[in-house]
Chain A
Amino acid sequence: QKEVEQNSGPLSVPEGAIASLNCTYSDRGSQSFFWYRQYSGKSPELIMFIYSNGDKEDGRFTAQLNKASQYVSLLIRDSQPSDSATYLCAVKATGFQKLVFGTGTRLLVSP
C-alpha cells in the first residue's frame, strides 16, 4: 500500500463548478497535510496546509481533514480554466520534517 494515495484522474469539471480532490494516507502518525499545485513543466507550489480535523478555507479553496478516516480533500469553488493542473497531496509525519507526496490528480477545467 502506498503511503499517500490519490486518483490520477483526469478529473474534468466545467468552469464555475466545484472540483473535489481526494487523498488517503496510511500512517496514523501523520500530523500535517499539504496541497500543492503543479502546472505542466513547472515546480510544485503550495496552495494550503491543514493539521486540525475539520475544514479550512482560503479564498476559493477549502481543505478538509478527517484523521479518523485518514482522509484529506481539497475543494475548489468556482473552478476556472487556470485551475487546470496536477494537484499533489503531501503528508508530514510527527517528528519528521520530510513531506511524502501522492502521485497527484490531474484536474481539467473546461470553459
Chain B
Amino acid sequence: DAGVIQSPRHEVTEMGQEVTLRCKPISGHDYLFWYRQTMMRGLELLIYFNNNVPIDDSGMPEDRFSAKMPNASFSTLKIQPSEPRDSAVYFCASSLGRDRRATEAFFGQGTRLTVV
C-alpha cells in the first residue's frame, strides 16, 4: 500500500481565499483523522471519522473549517475564508480500529499551508 496520501504538499494562498486539502487513507482503514501542527500548539486533532461518519469535531477551530468524507477512500478539509493564523502543517492519518487498545495511526506526508 502507498500509505496515506495527501495533496497538495504545499499550498500558498492569499487571505480570504478558499483552501481545500485532500486525503486518501490506507485502504481498509476505518478511522481517519485530521491534525494541525504548529510550533506553538504542537499536533492538534481537528476532527476524526469512523466509517465515513464524523465522530468528534470538537477540535475544529471555528466555522471557517469544515471536513467531509464522502467515501472510504477520500476526505477533504476546507478552510473558507482562510486567514494568516491558519498557516500550519495539516496532517491526515488513518488507522484500523479492530484492536481497540493498539490504535496505530499512520500519517500522510502533510500539507504545508501558508496564508499571506
Contact code string B29-55 (vs A, CB < 8 Å = 1, else 0): 001010100000111110010100001
Given contacts A98-B33, A102-B42, A104-B42, contact A44 B107 (CB under 8 A): yes
Q: Could you tell me the distance in whole angstroms from the C-beta of B42 to the nearest C-beta in chain A?
A: 3
Tell me the complex Cα distance, A34–B107, Å.
14
Q: In A78-92, which residues have CB < 8 Å from any B CB? A: 88, 90, 92
**Inter-subunit contact B43/A44 (CB<8 Å):** yes
Q: Could you tell me the distance in whole angstroms from the C-beta of A51 to the nearest C-beta in chain B?
A: 5
Interface footprint category on B: 20 to 34
Selected contact of B42 from candidates A45, A98, A103, CB within 8 Å: A103
Contacts between the two chains (Cβ within 8 Å), count: 56
Q: Could you tell me the distance in whole angstroms from the C-beta of A67 to the nearest C-beta in chain B?
A: 13
At the interface, yes or no: B109 with Cβ under 8 Å from chain A? yes
Given contacts A98-B33, A101-B42, A103-B42, contact A92 B103 (CB under 8 A): yes
**Inter-subunit contact A49/B104 (CB<8 Å):** yes
**Inter-subunit contact B101/A51 (CB<8 Å):** yes
**Inter-subunit contact B31/A97 (CB<8 Å):** yes
Tell me the complex Cα distance, A44–B35, Å.
11
Given contacts A43-B107, A43-B110, contact A101 B43 (CB under 8 A): yes
Q: Which residues of chain B have a CB within 8 Å of any CB of chain A?
A: 31, 33, 35, 41-45, 48, 50, 55-56, 91, 95, 97, 100-110
Q: Which 9 A-B pairs have the closest CB atoms?
A: A103-B42, A43-B107, A101-B43, A32-B101, A51-B101, A46-B104, A44-B107, A97-B31, A98-B48
- 22 A-B pairs, CB-CB below 8 angstroms? A31-B101, A34-B104, A42-B109, A43-B107, A43-B109, A44-B107, A46-B105, A51-B101, A51-B102, A97-B50, A97-B95, A97-B100, A98-B33, A98-B56, A99-B33, A99-B45, A99-B105, A101-B42, A101-B44, A101-B45, A102-B42, A103-B43
